[in-house]
Structure 1
Amino acid sequence: MNANTHSAIQATFDASQQGTIHFGEVISQLMRVQVESYHVDYRTGRTTYYLPDGSTLDLAFGRPQEGIADTFNDGEIRAAILGAQQGRVMYPEFKRLSQRAGCIGYTVWLAGRHVTYLGRRGESHIEHFPD
């Protein structure tokens, strides 16, 4: 991974964590540097970015202070996603809402234009990017 790509991913990660850019901007910025997908693991506090050439970048963030709900609530996940898609819910709030809904992490498939949200017992919710 070249220094420009690393820098762009880091800047996008930082802005998202601070809640200064919305989900659409995250996707746009990561696509510009050819990120193929990324995985967020709330339990470990890690986000891993994957590029088509096989290179990866692993970045740490604060683990949930409130914990993650035991039960995966699909309706609450969908509500948090809708808020993020509409730009009303920024990432710090999205993390809290999705963790309260029992989401342990998710994978964003930029190349496939969808996100897979995961629960503790293998539950999943797939959300396709809006057109």
Structure 2
Amino acid sequence: MDIAVIEECTRASHEERITFGEVVGRLIAAGVERYHVDLVRGESTYFMPDGQSHRVTGKTVDSRPASSFSPDGVLAAVRLIQAGRTKYLAFCQQIMEAGCVGYLVSMQGQRAVYYGRSGETYVEPFPGSR
């Protein structure tokens, strides 16, 4: 497990120096299988195929997730960041306003799964994997 790459990807995301595509590429190269972001706790956990994991604490967004989940709100935030019209921390704020409390990114499945307090989900395939 290349902890330096994992921690740098988290730091670079929170400092808004790297795009989602760059993060995924670097994590795949480091052998990461998937990662989970807990927006409320400000933690990201990275998982390797052999069961190892590494948790990184980052910046928390100064917000509480909305009570109800809006897949359309999550989709709108995803489209803004994909278009380069927003950065990572604003994206996190937007998906929290849409009721998202966390998300899971699967490199193998080439998708991100955003979820709300009651288990509602919105699934977004990676660009180019559709």
TM-score w.r.t. the length of structure 2 is: 0.93
Please give the root-mean-square deviation of Cα atoms over the aligned residues, in Å.
Answer: 1.1
Query: Letter of the aligned partner of 1:114 in structure 2?
Result: R
Aligned to 1:77: 74
Contact 2:11-2:58 within 8 A present in 1 as well:
no
Taking every aligned residue pair, what percent have the same amino acid on both sides?
36
Alignment of 1:1-131 (within 5 A): 1=1, 5-131=2-128
Please identify runs of 4+ aligned residues in structure 1 that moved more than 6 A: none
Q: Secondary structure at the match of 1:31?
A: helix
**Which structure 2 residue ranges, 5 or more long, are not aligned?**
none
**Separation (CA, whole Å) in 1 of partners of 2:93 and 2:126:** 21
Count of aligned residue pairs for this structure pair:
128
Structure 1 segments unaligned to the other structure (5+ residues): none
1:10–1:25 CA distance, 2 compared to 1 (3 A):
same
Opposite residue 93 of structure 1, the aligned amino acid is A
CA contact (8 A) 1:84 1:90 kept: yes
- Length-normalised TM-score, structure 1: 0.92
